[in-house]
Structure 1
C-alpha cells in the first residue's frame, strides 16, 4: 500500500526552533519538509506550491517581516500552525481570516506539537 506524501513548509527564523521542529517531525516519514528562515523565501515557495501544512511563527505569519507572506497564507488552501507567545488570538484579528489557523501557544511541549500535527495530517 502506497503511503500518501504530504508537503510541509516550515517558515521559522530561529534556527534552534527550526531544528526542534525537524526533530519532532521525524515520526512522519511521509512528509516532504521544506524549511525557510525568512518570509521572503517562504512566500516565493508558497507561490510555486501550496503545501498540505504550513508551520510558522507569529512574527512571520503576521507579516512583520514581509506583508506579502500573510496574503499568500490567506490564498493557500492548506492547514496552518502558528506558534505564538501571545495569550489570546483576539490580539491578532488579521490571522482569523486564514483558511485553517491552528495556534500553539508558547511554551508548548513535544506531545502538544505532535498531537497538533497528527490531527491535521489525516
Structure 2
C-alpha cells in the first residue's frame, strides 16, 4: 500500500511549502513542546522552587520546628500503621467471605462496602 499524504491530492500545499522554506523541522518540533513546558515552568516548578526556598530558610531551623516535625511525623506513622492493621484485620476475612461463600444478603453487603467509594466526602 502506498503512503498517502494528508491533503489526499499528493501535491504539496502552498502553506506547507512556505512553512518548510522558513521553519526548520527541529524548530517546528520544539514549538510543539513550548506550551506544555511553559505551563509546567509557571504553574509547577516556580511554586515548587518558592516552597523549597522558604522551607530551607535559615530561620526555619529552630528547635521548636524540629519538635513539631517529629511530632507530626510520629503521628503520621502511627496513623498509617494503625490503618494498615485495621484494614488487614477487617479486609482479609471479608475478602475470603465474599470470594468463597454464597449467602443471603451478599449483594447488599457488597453494595454497602462500595458506598464509601461512590459518595462525596463532604
The structure in which a higher percent of residues are helix is 2
The structure in which a higher percent of residues are strand is 1
Do the structures match in fold with TM over 0.5?
no
How does the TM-score come out when normalised to structure 1?
0.18
